[in-house]
Amino acid sequence: MISRYNHLTVLLLIFDAVFSSAAVCSPGWTNWKQSCYAMHSKRLNWMDATKFCENTGSHIVVPNSQAENDFIWGLVMDRLEYASLPMGGVWIGCKRETADSSFVCAEKTDFTNWTPGHPSAKVLCIVYGKGGNGTWRSNRCTNDSRRYVVCEMPNTAYCLTAGKNGRFVSGLP
């Protein structure tokens, strides 16, 4: 009877190995769900933050759920001492061109997490605000408004195939 269970376990392990994929982020990036995240160590204005992320093949982070929002806020708090976080906090990848227009985000989302009283009708960008425990505030996008930035990109999945001997025949490039 034990022998049958051992064979079943081996078959399940082989099945898992044959149909596995590995999600990978570059060094310095943190994997969560299907994305990779990296926080830049210097404060940048909106335009420079956008360019910085684009140059790494990513975009300024846009939370799509409370769970992702909490993860990103935790990442920020892990990287910074709370006292060093500016009042304007960390850029979120949504902006509007005029006070009368809607926010346009780097990726589609219906999720919001506004601090009470926000967004301000006059302000064009969104940030994680200090003291908001992961809530959002509207903020100026001017060149002198410098904030930290977290970049986001899809993680890369590689399919791993097992050969007849049970060893992987293809792997990471």
Regarding predicted confidence, which is higher, 150 or 99? Answer: 150
Angstrom distance (rounded) from CA 144 to CA 2: 70
Distance CA 173, CA 171 (A): 6
What is the band of 18 on the pLDDT scale with cuts at 50, 70, 90? very low
Instruction: Give percent of the chain above pLDDT 70.
Output: 76
pLDDT at 12 over 70: no
Q: How far apart are CA 70 and CA 52, in angstroms?
A: 23
Domains, the chain, ordered by start: 1-25+156-173 (no CATH), 30-154 (3.10.100.10)
- Amino acid 122: pLDDT: 83
Q: How confident is the model at residue 165 (pLDDT cuts 50, 70, 90)?
A: confident
Residue 47 is predicted with a pLDDT of: 95
Structure confidence at residue 127 (pLDDT): 93
- 48-65 average pLDDT score: 97
Phi-psi region of 88 (alpha: psi -120 to 50; beta: other; left: phi over 0): alpha
Confidence category of residue 130, pLDDT binned at 50, 70, 90: confident
∠55-88-74 over CA atoms, to 5°?
70
**Cα–Cα distance for residue pair 159/82, rounded to 1 Å:** 40
Mode of pairing for the β-strands spanning 59-60 and 148-154? antiparallel
The predicted-structure confidence for 83-107, as pLDDT tens digits, reads as follows 666 666 899 999 998 888 889 999 9
Residue ranges in the chain assigned as alpha helix (H): 2-18, 46-55, 66-79
For the ranges 12-26, 86-100, 105-119, the maximum mean pLDDT occurs at 105-119
